[in-house]
């Protein structure tokens, strides 16, 4: 679904001594089907931003459009539930939302709420579990007997089983082991393409943003700081440094390489293989290829 923010402000605890402006004059557009990374220092408003995507927060000022749903301060859609069935959100530490006796029931919870027929739910559960790499033998186990990483997978499966058009991920891999992080991210990436999803990923990892996203939005103190393709954004080393963000390692490498060999190899989000070829070209010329 297309997502548009128009001059969005969001203030927590308005009219109290603790009033806090978390988003300020935020505007951007996300095309349907894109994979967007939202990056920013801690406290920059990333989680606040994504809570607007399924109507959990309503902008204090400005407009949010998600598909056909318009959210403004004076009117929210009457069919909020429908919006939520189309926008699936995996929150930071989603394992905290588990509550059912068995894993099967917990994954079924979302689809049941959204009125998916019983016959289809079973199938969705199995598909979601295999997507997140959980074995079927766990179906009848209590989610509270699992390891933290497994609990995370159950929670993610619970969102996938809703079959949303738009998937919103708030640091979905924080606190997992490196292998688990890669597995989960690769899974989201695969689903994104297979099911033609619109994916919004909040992350601290520049590497992930670079690897998976085709559009990057950098937030700083509730305002949009930079926006563009990964190639456009991640070469702005100084600008990123200003807001306590690093450029991805590949970019750091290319910069150092260029400096050392006085070359101008560009960063164009090339694969490691392509980069290796470019380096070879610089070092020993074309003819030996």
Partner 1 sequence: MNNSLIIGQYVPGDSIVHRLDPRTKITIIFFFVFIVFFANNLPSYSILVVFALASMFTSKVPIRFVLKGLTPVWFLIIFTFLLHLFVTKEGTLVFDFWIFKFYSGGIFQGIAISIRFFLLILVTSLLTLTTTPIEITDAIEDMLNPLKKVKFPVHELALMMSISLRFIPTLMQETDKISRAQASRGVDFRTGPIKDRVKAVIPLLVPLFVSAFKRAEELAMAMEARGYQGGEGRSKLRELKIEKMDIFVYLIFIVVIILLFLTRTYG
Ligand X SMILES: Nc1ncnc2c1ncn2[C@@H]1O[C@H](COP(=O)(O)OP(=O)(O)OP(=O)(O)O)[C@@H](O)[C@H]1O
Percent helix, strand, coil in the chain (nearest 5)? 40, 20, 35
Stretches 46-54, 97-105, 172-180, 271-279: which one binds Mg ion (CB under 5 A)? 46-54
From ligand X, partner 1, Mg ion, none, interface partner of 188 (C-beta below 5 to 8 A by class): none
CA atoms within 13 A on the CB side of 208: 26
Least spacing, CB of residue 282 vs Mg ion, in Å = 41
Cβ contact 263:282 at 8 Å: yes
| Cα–Cα nearest to 26, from 35, 17, 18, 38 | 38
Q: 103-113 vs 148-160: helix axis angle to the nearest 10?
A: 30
State yes or no: residue 72 binds Mg ion (CB under 5 A): no
Asked if residue 81 binds partner 1 (CB under 8 A), the reply is: yes
* 47 binding Mg ion? (CB under 5 A): yes
User: ∠7-11-15 over CA atoms, to 5°?
Assistant: 130
- Per-residue x/- marks for ligand X, 86-125, CB under 6 A? ------x---------------------------------
- x-or-dash pattern for partner 1, window 116-145, by CB under 8 A? ----------------------------x-
- Residue 51 C-beta: closest distance to Mg ion, Å: 10
Token pair for residue 14?
A: 């308005």
Determine if 222 is a binding residue for partner 1 (CB under 8 A): no
CA angle 80, 86, 89 (to 5 degrees): 90
Instruction: Report what 40 binds from partner 1, Mg ion, ligand X, none; CB cut-off 5-8 Å by kind.
Output: ligand X
């Amino acid at each position: 679904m297309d997502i548009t923010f128009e001059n969005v402000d969001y203030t927590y605890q308005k009219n109290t001594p603790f009033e806090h402006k978390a988003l300020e004059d935020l505007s951007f557009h996300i095309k349907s089907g894109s994979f967007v990374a939202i990056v920013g220092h801690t406290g920059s408003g990333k989680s606040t931003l994504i809570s607007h995507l399924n109507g959990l927060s309503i902008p204090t000022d400005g407009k949010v459009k998600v598909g056909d749903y318009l959210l403004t301060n004076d009117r929210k859609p009457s069919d909020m539930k429908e919006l939520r069935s189309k926008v699936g959100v995996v929150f930071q530490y989603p394992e905290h939302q588990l509550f059912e006796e068995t894993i099967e029931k917990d994954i079924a919870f979302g689809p049941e709420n959204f009125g998916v027929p019983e016959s289809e739910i079973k199938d969705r559960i199995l598909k979601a579990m295999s997507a997140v790499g959980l074995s079927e033998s766990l179906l009848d186990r209590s989610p509270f007997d699992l390891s933290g990483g497994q609990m995370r997978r159950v929670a993610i499966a619970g969102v996938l089983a809703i079959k949303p058009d738009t998937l919103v991920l708030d640091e979905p891999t924080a606190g997992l082991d490196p292998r688990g992080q890669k597995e989960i991210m690769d899974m989201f990436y695969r689903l994104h393409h297979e099911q033609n999803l619109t994916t919004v990923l909040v992350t601290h990892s520049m590497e992930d943003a670079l690897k998976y996203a085709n559009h990057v939005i950098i937030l700083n103190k509730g305002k949009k700081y930079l926006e563009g393709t990964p190639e456009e954004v991640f070469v702005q080393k100084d600008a990123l440094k200003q807001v306590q963000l690093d450029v991805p390692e590949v970019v750091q490498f290319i910069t150092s390489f260029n400096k050392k060999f006085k070359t101008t190899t560009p960063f164009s989000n090339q694969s490691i293989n392509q980069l290796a070829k470019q380096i070879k070209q610089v070092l020993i010329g074309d003819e030996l290829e």
